Structure 1
């Protein structure tokens, strides 16, 4: 059994963790430049090679076959499928669009995470760290793009979403979807270079592209960028998000809330550790 002193130590440590980690919502600094992916909607043919590559790279189930009608059903990402390609009817014909986590520059999901499980790497991708997650699902509520998914039917549920193939990036490889795309729809690079490439395409083909790169300013900027020849609201991308990073909206609140609102999540976190430890001890004792 855990004594009171040990429990209070955990609570204190958790409190310090909550208070100290709220600053990471601001944009990381350093010499390493953020990387990202530029998606050129005009080049996508709906082959879904990116879906299969994503599944293979992340040990996910093979994407199901999609019948004609399902292309227009507005498929969303899921715990088993971190990227999906949908087809949209637009004034300029059918348009295929790949969707996944946008990897925001100042991610609301990471800002809302009490345990730093949802984490913005210094390279740019937003990843999820299982060992730190307490299952509060605040990241799901915070995300303006409604991307994080929770394994409700799993005995050990996890948060699931695109992590920009972070393990591959650590080895110097490109995201799997970028590597297999047969039409050059996807380009992986530093965001600064992606923005230059995107602007060059718009400048060289003003009759093809609308003069906007989606993700340049939305919610403070995102790591996944889009070029399109149709308005973005026609392909199910929100145009009402504004340019302010979502964590900025909570800064004043975090400095003005009563102490109990800071301590309560910390106490719950300590309780989470306590229960986990007790379960581990019981399991260990049952096998002895």
Structure 2
């Protein structure tokens, strides 16, 4: 009995070491934002809050109405992202000023959600889009915790739940179409295209009407760069966007992890210790049974 238990302990340690040594999906780091990456430019000075983008997005992605019942009355006017709402227009206020901001996946160049996804369910597409593969998703929801923009949502009400988020209408590209939200916007507040072209347009607008804009393009370098760029009349924290440095969000966490797991010494030691404790406890239990 003791020999079998000892072999079990050794197998446990070996399996743990192999698991630690196996390449993780979190190692699939992002890359710097490229000129040909696809993305969006949202101009908050042009948005009138019509929410045509929200409706068109839902139609293009086959999502159901996001109905809430208030005082017995059903409203299809979501205030935030949800399993059925991949993009939404939110209202902001600052003193006597007010306006709107579009919330959706920002398609980061180096996404935190991709960094923490164990099996690569969330991954970078060739043109910079952060895609989702439900067949690889185990429902851990680490992406929800990691995302600095609080974007991914989980289908709690579904028997076969999945993570939902904007994928920049990538299913429409084969038809020669872009993001549905940009197609529906009547004020050119949302524009779809190559990141280089969107940056050029954003700079043109800032230069043409400097008095109308807070002089910064959010997402140009924030958090390592994002595919969704934002222009605003007020500081971006007023819109609810996080103040990020130029370094990608996953960089610090991965540096710590890679330092701990360098050479896999820590995982091997950890699993070895756990295996020893398991073996010792089983031995003690066997002795007590014999008494």
Give the shorter-chain TM-score range.
0.7 to 0.9
Q: Matches of 2:148 and 2:206 in 1, distance apart?
A: 27
The question of 1:203 aligning with 2:184 is answered no
Alignment match, 2:43: 40
Select between 250-259 and 161-170 the one with higher mean Cα deviation: 250-259
Of residues 21, 25, 46, the one that matches 2:29 is 25
Alignment map for 1:15-94 (pairs within 5 Å): 15=19, 19=23, 21-27=25-31, 33-64=36-67, 75-91=79-95, 93-94=97-98
Q: CA deviation at 1:114?
A: 0.5
Of residues 140, 155, 161, the one that matches 2:159 is 155
* Change beyond 3 A, Cα 1:184–1:18: farther
* Change beyond 3 A, Cα 1:91–1:179: same
Alignment map for 1:94-173 (pairs within 5 Å): 94-173=98-177
Contact 1:32–1:122, Cα closer than 8 Å, also in 2: no
Alignment match, 1:259: 267
Q: Matches of 1:261 and 1:32 in 2, distance apart?
A: 45
Contact 1:18–1:114, Cα closer than 8 Å, also in 2: no
Q: Matches of 1:233 and 1:189 in 2, distance apart?
A: 25
Structure 2, unaligned runs of 5 or more: 1-11, 71-76, 272-291
Alignment match, 1:244: 247
In structure 2, the residue corresponding to 1:211 is in which secondary structure? coil
Q: Matches of 1:156 and 1:49 in 2, distance apart?
A: 29
The question of 1:221 aligning with 2:225 is answered yes
Deviation string, structure 1 residues 215-235 (Cα, Å, up to 9, x no partner): 111111111110111111222
In structure 2, the residue corresponding to 1:135 is in which secondary structure? coil
Contact 1:18–1:115, Cα closer than 8 Å, also in 2: no
Q: Matches of 1:64 and 1:93 in 2, distance apart?
A: 29
Computing the radius of gyration over CA atoms, which structure comes out larger, 1 or 2? 2
Q: CA deviation at 1:40?
A: 0.6
In structure 1, the residue corresponding to 2:40 is in which secondary structure? strand
Q: CA deviation at 1:137?
A: 1.1
Contact 2:116–2:146, Cα closer than 8 Å, also in 1: yes
In structure 1, the residue corresponding to 2:212 is in which secondary structure? coil
TM-score under structure 1 normalisation?
0.77
Q: Matches of 1:74 and 1:171 in 2, distance apart?
A: 29
RMSD: 2.9
Tell me the number of residue pairs that the alignment of Structure 1 and Structure 2 aligns. 246
